[in-house]
Structure 1
Amino acid sequence: MKEKSKNAARSRREKENAEFLELAKLLPLPAAITSQLDKASIIRLTTSYLKMRAVFPDGQGRSFIHSFIDS
């Protein structure tokens, strides 16, 4: 029974990690940055990005993002 629980937890973690990696890839940041993010940072940056998209719905925030990244 204990082994089954361990396997279920391992499988769940693997699925969660795969989704976090996919979410990080969707962020408008260079892969060199997103590949180094921890889970909390991925969630924090995704939340911030979605909030910014709500403020700038027509993509007006893209230039801001790129100026921030390039500096």
Structure 2
Amino acid sequence: MIETNRAEHMRMLDRQILGLLVSRAAESEVQPHEFAEFLDTHIEAIRRLSEEHPTPLAERIGKAAGRYRFR
């Protein structure tokens, strides 16, 4: 179990998510002015992938939550 500051950890995860989405947009040849629309459509695609995942979401969230102890 990892002990960390909740707000700091959430900011770090948000920066990672943004970096991954920027990289994904670059791979899709998205132009800067198209990024907001790309986010909308790609988040919808990610939602569908989550729904199709063989492990129930509650189980995945529980496992992730169990990795950290927040201070």
The verdict on a shared fold, with TM-score over 0.5 as the criterion, is: no
TM-score range, shorter chain: 0.3 to 0.5
Q: Say which structure is richer in strand.
A: 2
TM-score (norm 1): 0.43
Greater RCO, CA 8 A, separation 6+: 2
TM-score (norm 2): 0.43
Q: Say which structure is richer in helix.
A: 1
Q: Which has the larger radius of gyration?
A: 1
